[in-house]
């Protein structure tokens, strides 16, 4: 039986901070898309258990991009779930694996010496949180158009902009797109990738426009959850 389950993980981080990893499963495979902040393994395990899912049956984890709230618990999952494969784009894998420094850290390093002491302290704390994320080797590099025969078929769609190697995951049977940070829901409204954290807003909007080439009726946003109100119309408006 094919299943798509949205997990809501709630953190006390600058107030309530909720993220929504997604489980895609059939009788043979169980895939988790993104995995929350650091030290979230037990939270994910419990959220899955409430939906009748066993985290030990995970076969794959797809990481949409390197940000700490998307890959924070990846190393924990890798240690605790035997045989699980890690999938990401080759561009993001360089950072997820630690072969290159996280892009957010690189960006902080570029400006930290040019700000006042209060801002410097804030940036250093942000940098320390990112550097505390444990890196993990990526087992499979994915690219645009790659498909997997899971739950009626899933397809990788490259959605760069928020970060260079950002990907989204299309669940074909459900006509649903797991957006990562390519799109988000804020106060009930669908918005493009958060400009505050998006490296290239022009590319981000091009990525959103490209989604019109796919049959999508539902969006599952990492920040905001499920959106299914005239998806095509909203995307066209962007």
Cα→Cα distances 105→152, 178, 195, Å: 38, 26, 18
Q: What are the chain's domains?
A: 3-98+135-237 (3.60.15.10), 100-134 (no CATH)
pLDDT under 50 in the chain at which residues?
none
Rounded distance, CA 60 to CA 44, Å?
A: 14
Q: What percent of the chain has pLDDT over 70?
A: 99
Instruction: Give 59-103 pLDDT, tens digit per residue.
Output: 999 999 999 999 999 999 999 999 999 999 999 999 999 999 999
Could you report the per-residue pLDDT of 38-55, keeping only the tens digit for each? 999 999 999 999 999 999
What pLDDT shows up at residue 238? 81
Model confidence, pTM: 0.96
Q: Which two tokens stand for residue 185?
A: 């829901």
Q: What is the pLDDT of residue 15?
A: 64
Nearest CA to 64 out of 139, 133, 162 is that of 162
Side-chain half-sphere exposure of 172, counting CA atoms within 13 A: 13
CB 8 within 8 A of CB 225: yes
How far apart (Å, rounded) are the C-alpha atoms in residues 10 and 178?
Answer: 19
Q: Which helix (H) or strand (E) holds 183?
A: strand 183-186
């Amino acid at each position: 039986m094919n299943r798509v389950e949205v997990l809501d993980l709630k953190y006390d981080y600058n107030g309530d901070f909720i993220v929504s990893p997604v489980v895609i499963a059939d009788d043979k495979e169980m895939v988790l898309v993104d995995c929350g902040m650091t030290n979230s393994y037990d939270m994910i395990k419990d959220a899955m258990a409430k939906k009748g899912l066993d985290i030990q049956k995970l076969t794959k984890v797809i990481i949409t991009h390197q940000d700490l709230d998307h890959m924070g618990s990846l190393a924990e999952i890798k240690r605790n779930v035997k045989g699980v494969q890690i999938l990401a784009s080759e561009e993001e894998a360089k950072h997820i694996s630690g072969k290159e420094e996280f892009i957010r850290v690189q960006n902080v390093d570029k400006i930290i010496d040019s700000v006042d002491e209060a801002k410097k302290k804030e940036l250093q704390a942000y940098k320390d949180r990112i550097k505390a994320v444990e890196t993990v080797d990526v087992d499979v590099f994915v690219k645009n158009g790659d498909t997997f025969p899971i739950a009626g078929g899933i397809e990788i769609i490259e959605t760069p902009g928020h970060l260079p190697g950002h990907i989204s995951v299309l669940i074909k049977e459900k006509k649903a797109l797991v957006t990562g940070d390519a799109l988000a829901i804020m106060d009930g409204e669908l918005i493009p990738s958060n400009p505050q954290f998006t490296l290239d807003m022009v590319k981000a909007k091009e990525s959103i426009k490209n989604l019109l080439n796919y049959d999508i009726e539902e969006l599952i946003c990492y920040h905001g959850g499920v959106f299914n109100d005239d998806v095509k119309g909203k995307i066209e408006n962007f």
